[in-house]
Structure 1
């Protein structure tokens, strides 16, 4: 019995697991004992009888609940007692996909407990029994891609030195999910995928830990197969087809197995799921961006990132922006999306947020607040309207889009030197400079609006520039947001593009081009995260830090 190969397949009395057992049993014959495992062996008896009827007598049925330490320990003791304490092949297939469990946070907890921590329990108990030259195959799927989480977590998981590091991330997911804030925290809205991501990351750790024993650890995706878990109607593959790559990996020679340790396979081919998705496609939103400085920001970021980012060009009226989009398309910049967005309209913002949630994993990595209006001196519109549109529009954007900012993201406010603090009285300077909340800033802005409506803004301690006052409010609120978002490692930076040729500023007198005005935004957006955080709360022009 000691010369026989011992193979354990978790979760294997039906579906892909059953086919793995059947195919391995057929291939090895009396040269191996293949363990079919099930939480409830009585439900698996008919599956065993099915194999016995085919003359496959090398299959042994054992009880195994991967989420139960007692159950896992009993299987370990069985291997130690009857099979000299040696496993040659371990196929981790067991998993649950829960539906109808409410609240969602409870489902996340149970899914991670079963799939991720169950995998850890099995690894702690059975990995020490794997023979030198043995193999571990994890059936996880492409849903385990690294790109489903924020760059902050991507870096942690990709470089995880030990299992504890990965477990800490899984715990953070569960905790955030229980408060309904997992997406804001940087996780996907898919508990099964997140649990499989954890298994994938841990497998990389195990591959390194077991390297000295020449034990291979390989992840694989079976594809979309007809099973109880995936459904029977739409899935294009049979369970036997899904099992094929597992069997191919398990039965190849040991040298080839070890050459592929840490790898990821589908349909007998290596796939770079982790590497392709290691840095999630960046989502960049630029408000007010179909012309002028906003357009140049979109163009420059689109050229910089290419297929590594989706850059949103936004406009109140997308029909007026179509020619701008066509301009970029003609240059081969196909990573720009045009969307309707009016920063003063809550419904418009909510619709835009829904697009991000449904089509881009509910995550924004960079938000560039460029939208603003500035009336000509002889404009008939009320003097205070600029402050209302620019400042309160910024607050609407903040309220609706900040919750879906990725951890490690950046907010850049295109403000102006017109928003200098010295334009208001000392009383208001103190209030704005030491504002502890947005309400402190809004209080000043409301007082300005009230005074302006009576034509008494100068007497009340404000400047005679509605545009300047609106930008002052945005800079002050940006400083508050920088402190509030620091815990999520989101940087908030204010900047001045300078006096640039545009419809707003005019075309004759301004000395700078719109592209030159956009330069500091692009510089801030593309610098490394550590540098962004160091500048959070600051005010910049021409790539230099300026006193507000």
Structure 2
């Protein structure tokens, strides 16, 4: 019996290297690591061999037809064909690059789209029955699609589009980019995103062609690995490792024979997702953008949540802050990275500010889809004792609990079906509740508690703190933690109310981001970055439609934990 054979392009490092490592462990066959630079490729192979794995190597430059044909000939002569092709090789300019946009467009599309196309045209004809083809795309393709003209969007989304038209369109983008006229011709102002639109649409074309092919059960899909630590994306901000980014590609490459309903799709975290399909609301002539909003997000964890949502959420993302200047500066920082957040001023302790935001969302977007209640107040431990405890209690609970409640009361009524609400709590609430009296512990943990009772308990805490009697009345001696007990309990109240709401599938959860380096927590002792702290709230904000058993819970590291 002939061995199965897998090839991963651009795999001497990063996600491609991790895909090879995973295939060496899981595929019953021969796995080829390929790289443009033979020395670097052989070094990568030796690294895996030192781990007890046994990859093979072949040189491949996906922009060089002679190199592509040499690989094809080798596969035919030595193995008689190919079973798994992962088109991973890719390129992106750094956000700070000063290269002219026309150059960026030509290089990026030339490698990511035309290189992938050239490899596919050579190797797809030698894929054997039950073969698997995985094109590594990106959710940047979805974000860029939203920035294209309506006409361009319609053509890219058309599942009957032919390869010739796609090639002509991407060549047109390069031509217009060189002339500085790409935006007025309906293209997005993002070379990498446009290249990945090409990869995604190419996948749909290839899958359609395979459905007519006489060879049995060849599946072609594309996927987004997420924002991963790599030479291309950087090592500090991305929350995912390259190994985590490789997971969905491996999942698709190893789909069992005769898998159904997994052809010509875009996958993220092993789940298929729409290619920026418009959401219709009665009027079939108009589409409505999905909208996400993060409170208190000009810096720290909130800023990182906005950054991730701009990369992974298919819609408009609002960065909000009490200080308009600081908020606008944060928006500009993200725009310099090629992202496109919107800004709206918001002071969560000011009802007029909250109502102005609500009115804006209703007037401009008709509602809201994702709300992350991140804004909070906390005193640094080293200066906490400089402030009277009564001030700490009133300020912490006033902002963290009553501010979050005020925003929620205004915005939850305009959350659309399948909406997601994430309240930023803390594991300090878990610790503090154990320092409450048995009676208060029971009341805060009571899932039938009404909002009115919770409000009364929080006001009573502030009142007792003012006169120095909070401990004798059963409350803990940490103002911040007490405010987060309120946020956690409020989450349970809101989740229960949503279960009785006629709107479908609105999930409300809270989470602890962990101890992260921020202005309030300090920069030396906390072990996590703000980007790592953003991971679980983003996970909850992006829970797929109709997710089960993920409602009214407290999460830490993407897992529910008891209160």
In the superposition, the TM-score normalised over structure 1's length comes to 0.51
Distance 2:166 2:123 in 1: 19
Shift of 1:102: 2.6
User: Does the C-alpha gap of structure 1 residues 122 and 272 become closer, same or farther in structure 2, counting only changes over 3 Å?
Assistant: same
Shift of 1:255: 2.2
Shift of 1:3: 2.1
| Secondary structure of the structure 1 residue equivalent to 2:53 | coil
For the 8 Å contact 2:41–2:59, the answer to whether it is kept is no
Shift of 1:73: 0.6
For the 8 Å contact 1:101–1:107, the answer to whether it is kept is no
Length, aligned pairs only: 299
Distance 1:107 1:47 in 2: 28
Distance 1:50 1:309 in 2: 43
* Structure 2 residue corresponding to 1:121, chosen from 111, 115, 118: 118
User: Is the aligned partner of 1:130 residue 2:127?
Assistant: yes
| Secondary structure of the structure 2 residue equivalent to 1:186 | coil
Task: Give the equivalent residue in structure 2 for 1:180.
Answer: 180
Distance 2:53 2:365 in 1: 58
Distance 2:242 2:186 in 1: 33
User: Is the aligned partner of 1:266 residue 2:268?
Assistant: yes
CA RMSD of aligned residues (A): 3.1
Task: Give the equivalent residue in structure 2 for 1:168.
Answer: 168
For the 8 Å contact 1:166–1:198, the answer to whether it is kept is yes
User: Is the aligned partner of 1:142 residue 2:145?
Assistant: no
For the 8 Å contact 1:281–1:309, the answer to whether it is kept is no
For the 8 Å contact 1:8–1:91, the answer to whether it is kept is yes
User: Does the C-alpha gap of structure 1 residues 76 and 223 become closer, same or farther in structure 2, counting only changes over 3 Å?
Assistant: same
User: Does the C-alpha gap of structure 1 residues 106 and 331 become closer, same or farther in structure 2, counting only changes over 3 Å?
Assistant: closer
- The within-5 A match list for 1:310-389 is 329=358, 333-335=362-364
User: Is the aligned partner of 1:234 residue 2:234?
Assistant: no
Shift of 1:282: 7.0
Distance 2:174 2:359 in 1: 45
- The within-5 A match list for 1:48-197 is 48-57=45-54, 59-84=55-80, 86-99=81-94, 100=97, 102-145=99-142, 146-159=145-158, 160-197=160-197
What CA deviation, in whole Å up to 9, does each residue of 1:241-299 have, x standing for no partner? 1101111122221222x52111111111222233258997679xxxxxxxxxxxxxxxx
User: Does the C-alpha gap of structure 1 residues 32 and 328 become closer, same or farther in structure 2, counting only changes over 3 Å?
Assistant: closer
Distance 2:99 2:254 in 1: 42
Distance 1:224 1:327 in 2: 33
Q: More helix by proportion, 1 or 2?
A: 1
User: Is the aligned partner of 1:215 residue 2:227?
Assistant: no
Task: Give the equivalent residue in structure 2 for 1:243.
Answer: 246
Distance 1:229 1:147 in 2: 24
Distance 1:121 1:255 in 2: 27
For the 8 Å contact 1:148–1:280, the answer to whether it is kept is no
For the 8 Å contact 2:108–2:195, the answer to whether it is kept is yes
What CA deviation, in whole Å up to 9, does each residue of 1:404-458 have, x standing for no partner? xxxxxxxxxxxxxxxxxxxxxxxxxxxxxxxxxxxxxxxxxxxxxxxxxxxxxxx
Distance 1:264 1:9 in 2: 19
| Secondary structure of the structure 2 residue equivalent to 1:44 | helix
Q: Which runs of 5+ in 1 are unaligned?
A: 284-306, 311-317, 338-548
Q: Which runs of 5+ in 2 are unaligned?
A: 281-285, 291-313, 318-343, 345-350, 367-563
Task: Give the equivalent residue in structure 2 for 1:23.
Answer: 22
What CA deviation, in whole Å up to 9, does each residue of 1:144-175 have, x standing for no partner? 11323211111212224311111111011111
Shift of 1:110: 1.3
Shift of 1:220: 0.7
For the 8 Å contact 1:151–1:280, the answer to whether it is kept is no
* Structure 1 residue corresponding to 2:228, chosen from 222, 225, 230: 225
